[in-house]
């Protein structure tokens, strides 16, 4: 009888454990290809995706200027007509760095809504700079995260988006990246491929200046939130019940420095170097300038400004004086903001330590 009772007890414990494990186990995720097929109709690709810059040769009207000798590639074009004014290595394979985030943002806004609420995971909070510095469990709207991705190129914000946006469809980051490649396919980008949403270096993550021009053209014309964030020199995420306060500086130094500049995205990795896509309009001329592989932020932005001068000159628009004085005020802004952020972080650290010590004293009492 005792043996029977013991057997019943063991079986009961086993059943409880099995039931608990079954409840905790996540439902099986559908295959990536299946989810991509289901979600692909949500990806937009309207008539403006047919924009094809008139590039008949990889190099055209190369500019005789020291600013361009060490660049990996550059491209200057009229975003209305598609006329290419100047180009170097425009169809050569390059790492896209954080220019990737334009596609990340487009896909997220295609498959979700700007009001969607997304939560920061351990992985997101552990991302390498540039970051907001999010904390595990904080929640943000997709609109907030998109602004952070585009203005300050935050990798933690980007990771939250790529991990969380597809959860309603049982999709994860791998499905999100697959959708990025599907988006590239729908836009007709024949030389672009992604393996991550942030823009980290990877031999299988690549693009070229020509495809980047088409990405920029489509994002600028079809995503008001991306365009608004790209044109914002500085903004913040105000503290809420679900997340802390965050500064969002825009690292495009030509914003507010070169007349007519209103975007679009900067990027940097060790392999890619300093890169940028700059959009600008003066009078009736609208340009896209792409610079890839500069050695510094100053070199990057002065090269882009020189390209803009060349493009606007084609329509008789007076050039701007291009030297370090052009962007020095923006660089000074960044230094001041950096010092302010460091001071705020130090105060936050001190306040946290004080609260912890107070809690310990209370426990002892």
pLDDT given at position 23? 46
pLDDT given at position 341? 87
Q: What is the mean pLDDT of the chain?
A: 90
pLDDT given at position 21? 47
Q: Inform me whether the pLDDT recorded for 316 exceeds 50.
A: yes
Question: What domains are defined for the chain?
Answer: 46-360 (3.40.710.10)
What gap in Å lies between CA 250 and CA 243, rounded to an integer?
Answer: 21
Tell me the mean pLDDT in the region 78-86: 96
3-state DSSP percent of the chain in helix, strand and coil, to 5: 50, 15, 35
Q: How long a stretch of residues is the chain?
A: 365
Q: SS3 sequence, 267-303?
A: EEECCCEEEEEEEEEECCEEEEEEEEEECCHHHHHHH
Write out pLDDT tens, residues 18-72.
545 444 555 566 788 899 999 999 999 999 999 999 988 788 888 888 889 999 9
Helix axes 155-164, 142-151, angle to 10 degrees: 140
Question: CB–CB of 265/277 below 8 Å?
Answer: yes
What is this structure's pTM? 0.89
Q: Inform me whether the pLDDT recorded for 104 exceeds 60.
A: yes
Among 172, 192, 173, which residue's Cα sits nearest to residue 182?
192
For residue 92, with 0-12 CB atoms within 10 Å meaning exposed, 13-18 middle and 19 or more buried, which class applies?
A: middle
Q: Inform me whether the pLDDT recorded for 358 exceeds 60.
A: no
Write out pLDDT tens, residues 200-252.
999 999 999 999 999 999 999 999 999 999 999 999 999 999 999 999 999 99
What gap in Å lies between CA 201 and CA 99, rounded to an integer?
Answer: 12
Least confident of 63-67, 162-166, 168-172, 261-265: 63-67
Question: CB–CB of 179/40 below 8 Å?
Answer: yes
């Amino acid at each position: 009888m005792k043996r029977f009772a013991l057997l019943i007890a063991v079986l009961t414990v086993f059943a409880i454990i099995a039931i608990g494990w079954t409840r905790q186990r996540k439902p099986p995720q559908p295959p990536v290809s299946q989810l991509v097929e289901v979600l692909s109709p949500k990806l937009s690709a309207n008539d403006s995706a047919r924009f094809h810059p008139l590039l008949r040769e990889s190099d055209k009207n190369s500019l005789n200027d020291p600013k361009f000798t060490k660049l990996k590639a550059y491209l200057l074009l009229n975003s209305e007509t598609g006329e290419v004014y100047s180009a170097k290595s425009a169809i050569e394979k390059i790492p896209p760095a954080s220019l990737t985030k334009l596609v990340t943002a487009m896909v997220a806004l295609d498959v979700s809504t700007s009001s969607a609420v997304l939560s920061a995971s351990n992985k997101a909070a552990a991302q390498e700079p540039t970051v907001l510095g999010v904390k595990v469990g904080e929640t943000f709207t997709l609109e907030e995260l998109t602004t952070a991705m585009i203005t300050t190129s935050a990798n933690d914000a980007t990771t939250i988006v790529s991990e969380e946006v597809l959860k309603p469809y049982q999709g994860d980051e791998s499905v999100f990246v697959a959708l990025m490649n599907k988006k590239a396919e729908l836009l007709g980008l024949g030389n672009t491929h992604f393996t991550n949403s942030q823009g980290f270096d990877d031999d299988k993550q690549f693009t070229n200046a020509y495809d980047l021009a088409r990405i920029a053209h489509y994002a600028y014309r079809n995503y008001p939130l991306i365009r608004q964030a790209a044109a914002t020199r500085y903004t913040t995420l105000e503290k809420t019940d679900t997340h802390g306060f965050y500064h969002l500086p825009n690292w495009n130094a030509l914003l507010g420095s070169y007349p007519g500049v209103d975007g679009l995205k900067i990027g940097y990795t060790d392999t890619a170097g300093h890169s940028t896509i700059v959009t600008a309009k003066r009078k009736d001329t609208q340009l896209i300038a792409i610079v890839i592989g500069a050695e510094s932020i100053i070199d990057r932005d002065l090269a882009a400004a020189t390209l803009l001068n060349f493009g606007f000159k084609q329509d008789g628009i007076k050039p701007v004086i291009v030297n370090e004085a052009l962007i020095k005020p923006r660089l000074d802004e960044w230094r001041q903001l950096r010092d302010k952020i460091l001071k705020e972080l130090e105060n936050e650290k001190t306040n946290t330590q004080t609260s912890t010590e107070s809690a310990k004293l209370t426990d002892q009492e």
